[in-house]
Structure formats: structure tokens, C-alpha cells
């Protein structure tokens, strides 16, 4: 199975590099060669030849934090204070979730992500994760799945959750031809007692699993943490030994300079979720300082209940814009950096070496953008347009491991009409029950 | 010419109102009736009957600040400090602009705006505005056109510019069947000496023209203004008598409490340009305080050179998000308010009574959104989805004064392929000359 894609504008994912009239050879799902000005020879043997007609090719986008299991709650309560939103809108609904609800929401989220150019997503959820694994297997997308664990419960229940998470990890890693990896996901320092975190860290070391955790999303949780433990959350986690394993934190909105230094020192990765942090009134993470300290920053949408879409183009754009205004400095987080965060850094944050760039020996996870729309003209400055003007609806084709999952803006592996019907039916059942 | 649109979800533009299974009767470009559950009678006589199939109808979006004449400079220099950007990227290019450049850029901008649901835009520019007027006439869009005037020149030149602006105003107001109105647009307090501003105000009063002006976009310009005049810009303009005429200011990022009170007192309207203010590192306008003081706030994209698209859905979304994060309060600028700013408030800010809502006796400027995409499900919460999840690419049909300008996402009045070809050709001529 050898595929050729030629005559395109290839954004390789290396800082700022664009191959005009570039080509790409994919061999059994791996990128074999990337180059300029392809010339046909008699000896060429390709199963598929795609003339790109000048379209833009870039690495598949990587969404490093979300909860697709709750996607049906999109728009179910906006503009509310966090606790009121959780208590009156989110938790009562989630308490009624069944397998069908999670399947309907997760299917909706996956087709939305695929159609808008996301080829890999991280999922932290606590319900019916085998179903999500099955959807990943069937849809062809790539995922890091983690069972979110809240430790506010008895030690027996904590142990049960952790055992579930480990068992699930084992099952999921054998599925989908290696497209699923896993992490252990204690929910947050404010919901997990130190002893429980220690057990999680112990298992993570033993099983060589990375850790994913919400960290310092709101000012209030940080203040309460300091009151309770007499230290800031990052110091607390470092002392517990968490950062001896690869750790990806979500949010990191309220971190002081010492905490940033610790994250840099231990090579902790960050999932920056700018839209969700704005929408819930959490604040604006200090990404420019993180970048200055060489912290690995990737991008996540968080859930559709707090975003409210899963469009990584819009998230890149927000990332490139928000810090300029917040710091009153237009030079921070330029377009190259934002694209890097959503691709190469995403792969590293998820501890998956094979993705995040269009280069030899990487897996062939890439997307093709239809560059013919008015908002992408004049077409000269494509890097700028991809970050500052494009949106997910400009994505025309999506490939994961060389397999075409979206063609001409239609998903080939999922039944969109059925998914939308089921999502609305499941939501109505929830809402009016 | 009587048109019926029925069986849709109509967002009327009145605060939060949604008519489920609503209908809309348009008579010669005016909305004659809006109601629920239309029932056909034998006596009905409609030239056109449109079954909306549950799609979402809302007032056409109103973009209250921009410079479409420079649209070809989209992406031509991002991530640069303001002065470096202006001096190295914008001004040298604009100095080479010809009629063809402006026509190519403005055509591109208009088709982008129409396709993404904008039915009215304000234009402040200084070159070839008759051409822009002609494009408005031909395309069917609605516009407020103002000749931007920089007063850093001799008195003779100032007078010439003002005369040009007044003559242009007269010519444009006779075009396009009333779809063009005009304002007088002194560029900014920092580029217009007080005596020149007085002349402009005098003409505005005499000719009953509103005024449009950039105001307090950057901290630096405000500081320099205080140094030069010993007072803040709003106080300065108030003392000059500007606010005796209807005034719309763009930006208003750096205003103190006294200035906000003055704007409220004089009924001055604001065009909030959140994306442009972020991208240029200008800062974040204090919109929640403006709203608390009942200042009329509308939304603008500014130019594609500092945004970089003209998608008013994305601008609404940014408006609803940015202030929540900046104030760490998720209750500020809710979805209803953001939609109101982009519709009803836009009409008032532009001093056009006939637009901005779907109600009897307004002009029939409305758009139809295809609600079938994954990111708009579950479809229950449409107001939330319109603000927090939709983008311009969801717009399917666009009507201005009852005339269909976009159908099935294709613009009926402009030749998209030709416009894109000309835009790229014109840009290359500029860039490589």
C-alpha cells in the first residue's frame, strides 16, 4: 500500500517550514518521504495518487484535553458561575447518563473532531470508556484514553477506581491497531487526597503509564489548596513524586514563577485550554512565560460543555490571539508557535512519538485544507491564514495512518446522519426525563 | 413581491426570543409579519414560499468597523509591534494601491462577509470609495461608507479631504436604493488637530451626518494625548462638541471611568473590535463596564489585516468569551447580549433604524443557518450554539431587503471564482513590484 500526494503546499510542522509544490509518499501508513517537485518515473508503483492542486497539507491536529463523554451537554447552561453550572446543569444530567448517552455524545464529538481536522484527542472521562475505545477503533481516529478518578471516597472505592483504570488501560491498548494509548488520570489535587495520588503514581511507575491531571484551573482551588496543605499545588505534586513519570497537566491557569520553574525542571507538559478558561471565567494562563521557560505547551478544547465546539483551528487562533492582548505585546505566541503547539507539541505532550509532523518515519496522520475560500485569500501567507483565519470547516480530507477518514468534507467511517439523530434523541431523553 | 418563510426557528433579535416553528412574511423588502405556526389559506398569494425545515433564522449580522479597502493585506505581517507593522508592512504596500487593488480587495471582503452572514458593514477608508460604493450597489449588501481623514497636513489639504468626504457622501447616498448611508470619519484624535476636528463637526452638524472615529485603541496614544492636551481623549472630543452629533467610536480599549460616563451621557456608540485589539496587542476593552453604564456597544472585525477574517460569528464568540476570562466572571456578556451587539445594537450604532431585528416594519435583512452540522448538536440550545459554536461557514442563505444574495452557501450576486483570481493577481502585482 503505497500512496503519493503531490503538487501541494506542505506545512511540515517543523518551525515555519513550507514546501511549495511539495509531495509526500506514504508506505503502509508511515511517511516514507517528503520532498519538493515530484517527478514521475516508469518504475513508480503507487496504489493511490492524489494530485493536491495546490491545496494545503499539514499534520493532523492534536487535542490534548477533553471529555467527549459529556458532549451532549453542549450549550446546556452557559454564562453561569462555575459551581452553579456544575451543580445545576452538569452533575444532575451526568447522573442520568447511560451507555447510550455516552455513546451518542462521544460519536458526535468524534465526527466533529474528524471533520474539523483533529486526528488525535485525549479523553479523560469516568463512564463507559470501553464504548469510547470501540468508537475510536471503528472511526479510525487516534486517542489517548484515561479514566478520570475523583478520590473523594472510601479507600476501597479509590482502589476499585484505580484497578478499573489499570484494567481498562490494558484492554484499550490492545485495540485499534495501536491507535489507542492510555494514561492514568487522577482528577485534580483538590479532589484527590495525597495518599490516593501516591497509589496512582506507584501504579503509573509500575506500568510505565503517563499521568494526566487537571491543575490550577481556578484561583479559588489554588487558594484552598494552600490553606489545606500549606503549599502550592505544583510543589505538592512534585513532592509526591508525580513528575518522575511523564505528566501532562490540563489548564495551569494560576501558577506562580516557582511552579513554572518546577514544571520546566521536570519536563511536565501543559494542555492549554484558552477558550474553556475564558468561558468559565477561570482566567488566562501565562503561556508566554511557559514558552520562555521552555515548558512544552500543547492545546486542548476541553469539553463541548465549556467551549462549546471542538474546533482545534479556533483553539489555535485563540491561543495566538489571547496572550498578545493580555500582555499588550503582539510578538508573543506567533503563528508558527501556535501551529507547533497544536501539532508537534501535542504529540510530545501525549508521549506519542509517531505523530505531530510531516516527516520521514512518522505515521501518516495529516489533513488537507481546501484553500479556495475567500477568507484564505490572497493565498500567499498560508501559515498566517491557517492560524488566524481558517476554521475547521475548511478541512477537506483527513488521514490517520495513511487511511482516509474524511473525503470532500464527508466522514467515510461514521454515519453522520444517524449520529446526529441519535444525539438529539438521547439528549431529549435526558432533558425531559 | 410577497415572500413567505415558514417552519423555522426564528431568533427575532429581541432579547433571547426564539419562535419555534416560526414564520416570516416579507412584502417588497419589508418584514410584514412575524409569527408562530403558519397556517395556509386559499387567499394566500406569495411570490415565493420557503419551507425552512427547522433551520435557524436570525437578523443579518452588522459589522460596525472595518477597512475592506485593504483586505488584500490579510496575513501580510503578523505578530509584529504596531509601529513596525504599519511602517514595514502596511504603509509601503498601501502607497502602491491602485483602483484595481482596492476593487480586488473590497470585492474579496464583501463576498467573504456576505457568505458568512454579514448583511451590513461600516467602511472607513481613504482610497477609491466610489468603487466600494459601486460594489455595494452591485452585490446587494448594505454599507455605511466613510472617508477616513488624517489631519496631519496643511489646512488646504485638510479642507480638500473634508470637501471630498462631503461630496462623496452626497454621491453615495443616491446609490444602491438607500442601502448606502455615510458618516464623516476623522481618523483619530491623535491624527487630527482640534481645529480640523471642529471643521468636521461643523460639517457633520450642517449636513446631519454621524461621525465615526478611532478612539483610545492603544495605551500609548492615550498617554501621548494627555501629554499634548492635558486631558484624556473623550474629554477632549466632548469639549470640541463632537458628541452633539451621533458618534460611533471604534475600539475604546483604554477609557477611564469618567470617560465611560461621558460616553453614556452623550449616547455615544462603541464598536468593540476584540480580535483586532488582541492581535495588535492593544488590550481588552472594558465592555462589561460599558454595558453596566448602558453604553451602546456593537461589534466590528476591523480589517482583515488585523483580524484576519471578517467572520462576525467568530467576533460574537470572542466578545462573549474574552470578558469572562478577563474579569474572571462567567456571567458577563452572555450569549443574548453578544447576539444583540452583533444585530440590534449594530443597527443603532450605525444610525439605521430599519435593520437589526426580525420584526414588523424592519427591512428584511436576515440570514438562515444550516443547523445540521455536528458542532450544532444537540440542537436544543440554538442561541448558545449561534454564539459559542457556530461560524460563518454555517450560513446557508442571506437576504437583504428581501433579496436573496446567498443561496446554498453560494453568492448569487458576485462571481467568487473571478474575485479570488483577481485578488491573488492584484496581490502578486503589489508584492513583487
Pick from A81, A374, A431: CB nearest B115: A374
What is the nearest CA distance from A81 to chain B, expressed in angstroms? 6
Residue B418 lies in a domain: no
Same domain (yes/no): B336, B372: no
Residue A112 lies in a domain: yes
Residue A395 lies in a domain: yes
Distance between CA A358 and CA A343 in Å, rounded? Answer: 10
Same domain (yes/no): A182, A331: yes
What confidence category does residue B42 fall into, taking pLDDT thresholds of 50, 70 and 90?
confident
Residue B388 lies in a domain: yes
Name the residue range of residue A384's domain. Answer: 2-59+364-411
Same domain (yes/no): A342, A382: no
Same domain (yes/no): B170, B33: no
Instruction: Write the secondary structure of chain B as one string of H (helix), E (strand) and C (coil).
Output: CEEEEEEEEEECCCCCCEEEEEEEEEECCEEEEEEECCCCCCCCCCCEEEECCCCEEEECEEECCCCHHHHHHCCCCCCCCHHHHHHHHHHHHHCCCCHHHHHHHHHHHHHHHHHCCEEEEEEEECCCHHHHHHHHHHHCCEEEEEEEECCCCCHHHHHHHHHHHHHHHHHHHCCHHHCEEEEEEECCCCCCCHHHHHHHHHHHHHHCCCEEEEECCCHHHHHHHHHHHCCCHHHHHHHHCHHHCCEEEEECCCCCHHHHHHHHHHCCEEEECHHHHHHCCCCCCCHHHHHHCCCCEEECCCCHHHCCCCCHHHHHHHHHHHHHHHHCCCCCCCHHHHHHHHCHHHHHHCCCCCCCCCCCCCECCEEEECCCCHHHCCCCCHHHHHHHCCCHHHEEEEEECCEEEEECCEECCCCHHHHHHHHHHHHHHHHCC
Pick from A307, A308, A325: CB nearest B281: A325
Same domain (yes/no): B260, B196: yes
List the grid coordinates of B117.
452572514
- Per-residue confidence (pLDDT) for residue A15, from 0 to 100: 79
- Per-residue confidence (pLDDT) for residue B115, from 0 to 100: 98
What confidence category does residue B230 fall into, taking pLDDT thresholds of 50, 70 and 90?
very high
Which residue in B225, B222, B263 sits closest to B246, CA to CA?
A: B263
Average pLDDT, chain B: 96
- Per-residue confidence (pLDDT) for residue A14, from 0 to 100: 80
Is A370 annotated for ligand binding?
A: no
Same domain (yes/no): B32, B152: no
- The verdict on a CB contact (< 8 Å) between B308 and A219 is no
- The verdict on a CB contact (< 8 Å) between B374 and A419 is yes
* ipTM of the modeled complex: 0.97
- Per-residue confidence (pLDDT) for residue B44, from 0 to 100: 80
What confidence category does residue B82 fall into, taking pLDDT thresholds of 50, 70 and 90?
confident
The residue-averaged pLDDT of B202-213 equals 98
- Per-residue confidence (pLDDT) for residue B433, from 0 to 100: 76
Is A375 annotated for ligand binding?
A: no
What is the nearest CA distance from B254 to chain A, expressed in angstroms? 12
CB-neighbour burial class of residue B240 (10 A; exposed 0-12, middle 13-18, buried 19+): middle
Same domain (yes/no): B98, B215: yes
- The verdict on a CB contact (< 8 Å) between A75 and B385 is yes
List the grid coordinates of A310.
471542538
Judged against a pLDDT cut of 90, whether residue B43 lies above it is answered with: no
Same domain (yes/no): B379, B261: no
For an interface test with B, which of A15, A75, A97, A113 has the most B Cβ atoms less than 10 Å from its Cβ?
A: A75
Is A214 annotated for ligand binding?
A: yes
Reading chain A (433 residues) residue by residue, the pLDDT tens digits are 899 999 999 999 887 899 999 999 999 999 999 999 999 988 888 999 999 999 999 999 999 999 999 999 999 989 998 788 888 989 899 999 999 999 999 999 999 999 999 999 999 999 999 999 999 999 999 999 999 999 999 999 999 999 999 999 999 999 999 999 999 999 999 999 999 999 999 999 999 999 999 999 999 999 999 999 999 999 999 999 999 999 999 999 999 999 999 999 999 999 999 999 999 999 999 999 999 999 999 999 999 999 999 999 999 999 999 999 999 999 999 999 999 999 999 999 999 999 999 999 999 999 999 999 999 999 989 999 999 999 999 999 999 999 999 999 999 999 999 999 999 999 999 988 7
Residue B253 lies in a domain: yes
Same domain (yes/no): A292, A165: yes
- CATH code assigned at A191: 3.20.20.140
A274: three-class secondary structure by DSSP: helix
- The verdict on a CB contact (< 8 Å) between B378 and A281 is no
In this structure, are strands B30-36 and B269-272 parallel, antiparallel, or unpaired? unpaired
- Per-residue confidence (pLDDT) for residue B27, from 0 to 100: 97
Instruction: Write the secondary structure of A322-361 as one string of H (helix), E (strand) and C (coil).
Output: HHHHHHCCCCCCCHHHHHHHHCHHHHHHCCCCCCCCCCCC
- Does the N-terminal peptide bond of residue B96 adopt cis geometry, omega within 30 degrees of 0? no
Reported as half-sphere exposure (CB side, CA atoms, 13 A), residue B386 has a value of 32
- The verdict on a CB contact (< 8 Å) between A378 and B116 is no
For A426, which residue in chain B has the nearest alpha carbon? B378
- Per-residue confidence (pLDDT) for residue A243, from 0 to 100: 98
What is the nearest CA distance from A254 to chain B, expressed in angstroms? 12
- Per-residue confidence (pLDDT) for residue A83, from 0 to 100: 80
294-323 of B, contacting A, C-beta below 8 A: 304, 307-311, 314, 318, 320-322
- Per-residue confidence (pLDDT) for residue A433, from 0 to 100: 76
A83 or B383, which is more confident: B383
Same domain (yes/no): B31, B86: no
Domain count within chain B: 2
Residues belonging to the binding site of B for substrate are 94, 147, 187, 217, 302
- The verdict on a CB contact (< 8 Å) between A420 and B374 is yes
Same domain (yes/no): B10, B92: no
Same domain (yes/no): A344, A375: no
341-380 of B, contacting A, C-beta below 8 A: 372, 374-375, 377-380
The residue-averaged pLDDT of B61-77 equals 96
Is A359 annotated for ligand binding?
A: no
For B431, which residue in chain A has the nearest alpha carbon? A380
Q: Does A330 touch chain B (CB under 8 A)?
A: yes
Whether residue B362 contacts residue B354, with contact meaning beta carbons closer than 8 Å, is answered with: yes
Q: Does B324 touch chain A (CB under 8 A)?
A: yes
- The verdict on a CB contact (< 8 Å) between A380 and B322 is no
Distance between CA B2 and CA B46 in Å, rounded? Answer: 5
Amino acid at each position: 500500500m503505497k500512496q503519493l500526494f503531490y503538487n501541494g503546499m506542505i506545512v511540515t510542522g517543523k518551525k515555519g517550514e513550507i514546501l511549495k509544490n511539495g509531495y509526500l509518499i506514504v508506505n503502509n501508513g508511515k511517511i516514507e518521504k517528503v520532498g519538493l517537485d515530484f517527478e514521475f518515473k516508469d518504475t513508480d508503483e503507487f496504489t493511490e495518487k492524489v494530485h493536491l492542486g495546490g491545496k494545503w497539507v499539514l499534520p493532523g491536529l492534536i487535542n490534548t484535553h477533553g471529555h467527549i463523554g459529556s458532549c451532549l451537554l453542549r450549550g446546556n447552561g452557559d454564562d453561569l458561575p462555575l459551581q452553579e453550572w456544575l451543580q445545576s446543569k452538569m452533575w444532575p444530567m451526568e447522573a442520568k447518563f447511560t451507555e447510550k448517552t455516552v455513546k451518542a455524545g462521544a460519536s458526535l464529538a468524534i465526527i466533529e473532531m474528524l471533520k474539523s481536522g483533529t486526528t488525535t484527542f485525549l479523553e479523560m472521562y469516568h463512564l463507559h470508556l470501553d464504548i469510547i475505545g470501540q468508537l475510536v477503533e471503528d472511526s479510525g481516529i487516534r486517542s489517548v484514553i484515561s479514566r478520570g478518578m475523583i478520590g473523594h471516597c472510601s479507600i476501597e472505592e479509590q482502589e476499585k477506581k484505580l484497578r478499573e483504570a489499570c484494567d481498562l488501560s490494558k484492554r484499550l491498548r490492545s485495540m485499534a491497531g495501536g491507535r489507542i494509548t492510555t494514561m492514568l488520570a487522577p482528577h485534580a489535587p483538590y479532589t484527590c487526597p495525597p495518599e490516593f495520588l501516591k497509589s496512582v503514581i506507584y501504579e503509573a511507575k509500575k506500568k510505565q503509564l503517563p499521568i494526566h491531571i487537571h491543575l490550577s484551573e481556578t484561583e479559588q482551588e489554588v487558594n484552598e489548596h494552600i490553606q489545606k496543605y500549606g503549599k502550592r499545588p505544583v510543589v505538592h505534586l512534585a513532592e509526591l513524586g508525580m513528575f518522575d513519570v511523564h505528566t501532562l497537566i490540563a489548564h495551569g491557569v494560576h501558577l506562580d514563577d516557582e511552579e513554572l520553574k518546577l514544571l520546566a525542571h521536570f519536563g511536565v507538559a501543559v494542555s492549554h485550554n484558552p477558550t474553556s478558561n475564558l468561558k468559565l471565567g477561570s482566567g488566562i494562563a501565562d503561556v508566554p512565560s511557559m514558552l520562555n521557560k521552555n515548558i512544552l505547551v500543547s492545546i486542548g478544547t476541553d469539553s463541548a460543555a465549556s467551549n462549546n465546539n471542538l474546533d482545534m483551528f479556533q483553539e489555535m487562533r485563540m491561543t495566538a490571539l489571547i496572550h498578545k492582548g493580555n500582555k499588550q505585546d503582539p510578538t508573543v505566541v506567533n503563528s508558527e508557535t501556535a501551529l507547533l503547539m497544536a501539532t508537534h507539541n501535542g504529540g510530545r505532550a501525549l508521549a506519542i512519538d509517531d505523530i505531530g509532523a510531516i516527516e520521514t518515519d512518522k505515521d501518516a496522520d495529516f489533513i488537507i485544507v481546501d484553500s479556495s475560500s475567500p477568507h484564505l485569500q490572497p493565498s500567499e501567507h498560508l501559515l498566517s491564514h491557517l492560524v488566524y483565519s481558517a476554521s475547521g470547516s475548511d478541512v477537506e480530507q483527513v488521514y490517520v495512518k495513511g487511511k482516509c477518514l474524511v473525503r470532500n468534507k464527508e466522514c467515510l467511517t461514521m454515519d453522520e446522519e444517524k449520529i446526529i439523530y441519535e444525539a438529539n434523541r438521547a439528549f431529549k431523553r435526558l432533558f425531559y426525563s
